[in-house]
Structure formats: structure tokens, C-alpha cells
Amino acid sequence: MARRKKIYEGKAKILYEGTEPGTLVQYFKDDATAFNAEKKAVIEGKGVLNNRLSEFFMTGLTNIGVPNHFIRRLNMREQLVRQVEIIPLEVIVRNFAAGSMAKRLGIEEGERLPRPIIEFSLKDDKLGDPLVPEEYIIAFGWAAQQDLDDIVSLALRVNDFLSGVMYGVGIRLVDFKIEVGRVWDGDFQRLIVADEISPDSCRLWDRESGQKLDKDVFRRDLGDLADAYTEVARRLGVMPSNATHMPKPTLIN
Ligand code: 5GP
């Protein structure tokens, strides 16, 4: 069998050429990285969980009319997605102060923000994804003003959807990151949500205990990351209630 063509390998995912024109296969790895890959580990089962969770969120977005790249899940670790031209920005939406914002402004983590705040970082690992103002984005041509208006509108819709879904299962959506891509439908271009939506790219706190159920568990050594993600999946009904994270099967020749 011919090996499929690898298009791109990132820290947590690999993109392969898709099975149909205009598509890609997105493979979720078990690798976890933090602090711009200074901290690394392999968390068994993380890729399987994120594949399922991203499918769940993207399908929900499709159902409420928020365009995104997800087409269908192919297997435990892979999904078929629409090929997009990625806008080189990380779009971050914050509902409560945490992480880099809390540090930058000296605000206590968990403080509710006056309204959802959107910020942009340039996707550039070498520079550590620096925060960039809209002025830079337009001036350097990373996106046009109309694109930014569309991105803000997409990000707020994703925020409302995710906040509501999480609220329903006793989880506070503190903040999250999305990526956006450009697609062409004939002569028309539009922007859609791409990449992934998973506990790797969100801050999720239990509403009662404040327990962290996201990648901060790994960043801050707070326990077993796969257990935290399994709990999110269990509450959302994405995994059966008695599921513990599944180790890779032992292959017997
Ligand atoms: P912060 O700027 O506070 O570190 O991150 C804000 C939110 O965006 C958090 O939910 C964090 O997980 C997410 N985020 C920021 N940068 C990245 C990144 O490079 N990769 C991923 N997966 N998430 C990120």
C-alpha cells in the first residue's frame, strides 16, 4: 500500500493528504507540550480523547450554523477535515482572567471579565506566539479588516456555544483558543473554524470545586491529564460513563 503524504506535523497533530480533493486527514497524537515545547510528555489516550471531543464540538457548531472544517471522524485518532488556508493567528477568547492575561495585568485568576475579550497572537513558535494588536495584523497583511470582523463574529459564536454546553455539565469555560481558515466556494471566500477544539486549547474549571480539567493539569503538574480529559468527555456523553482512558492495545504478532 502506498504511504500517504504527510502535509504538516505540529506538536499535537499531523495532517495527511485527504481521501478526497480539498480534504485532509487530521491525526491526533498523544504528545503533550507546554511553554513552547520546553515541557514535553506522551499522555497515553490523549489523542483518542481529543479526536472525539473535537468531533463533538465541531459537530455541535455545524448544527447551530457555525461553519467549520470538520467533515467526519475516520477512526479513533483521525478525522477528515476540509483543507483551508490557515490565517496565521491564534484567536483567544477570555471570559475569566487566567493564564497569560492574569499574569500580564496582575489580575487574580478566576476574576470574571466585564465582557468576553478577544485577543490575537501571531502563530510563530520561534517567537513564542506573541500577542499582536489589530493594527499589526492589518498592516502586515496577516488578515484584512473584513476578515477580522468575521473572525470576531465566529469567535463570539463559538464562545456562546461552548460556554452553554459546558455550563450544562457543570464546567466553567474560562478561555479558549481557536484557529480560523479561509476556504473558497467558487469565486467566494469565507472563513471557517479550523484546527481543533479540545481541552488542549481551552481552560475548563469545574463550577463547584474549581478543579482544572484542561491542559493546565499538565502545564502545572496538577495530576493525570488523561483522567481530566476523560472526565470532560464523560460529562458530555462523548465516552461511556464507566470509561477510563484507553491505553494503546498490545499488538500480538
Ligand atoms: P494563555 O494566553 O492564557 O496562555 O492561553 C489562553 C487560552 O488559549 C488557553 O485556553 C490556552 O490553552 C489557549 N492557548 C493559547 N496558546 C495556545 C497554543 O499555542 N496551543 C493551544 N493548544 N492552546 C493555546
The number of beta carbons lying within 10 Å of the beta carbon of residue 129 is: 18
pLDDT given at position 3: 77
Tell me which residues of the chain have a pLDDT lower than 70. 1-2, 240-253
Q: In what order do the strands lie in the sheet containing 6-9?
A: 6-9, 13-17, 23-28, 78-82, 70-73
For residue 240, the SS3 value is: coil
Determine the atom of ligand 1 nearest the C-alpha atom of 123: 19
pLDDT given at position 36: 87
In angstroms, what is the span from residue 177 Cα to ligand 1's centroid?
Answer: 6
Q: Which residues contact 191 (CB under 8 A, 6 or more apart)?
A: 67, 87, 147, 150, 151, 154, 180, 181, 182, 183
Q: Which residues contact 39 (CB under 8 A, 6 or more apart)?
A: 33, 218, 219
C-alpha distances out from residue 247 to 31, 198, 250, Å: 14, 19, 9
pLDDT given at position 96: 98
**Residue of minimum CA distance from atom 16 in ligand 1:** 177
Furthest-apart CA atoms within the chain: distance in Å: 59
* Whole-number percent of the chain with pLDDT over 90: 91
pLDDT given at position 236: 98
pTM, two decimal places: 0.93
Cβ atoms of residues 85 and 194 within 8 Å: no
Q: Is the Cβ atom of 211 under 6 angstroms away from ligand 1?
A: no
Q: Is the Cβ atom of 30 under 6 angstroms away from ligand 1?
A: no
Determine the atom of ligand 1 nearest the C-alpha atom of 101: 3
Average pLDDT value over all residues in the chain: 94
pLDDT given at position 89: 98
* Whole-number percent of the chain with pLDDT over 70: 94
Residue type, 9: E
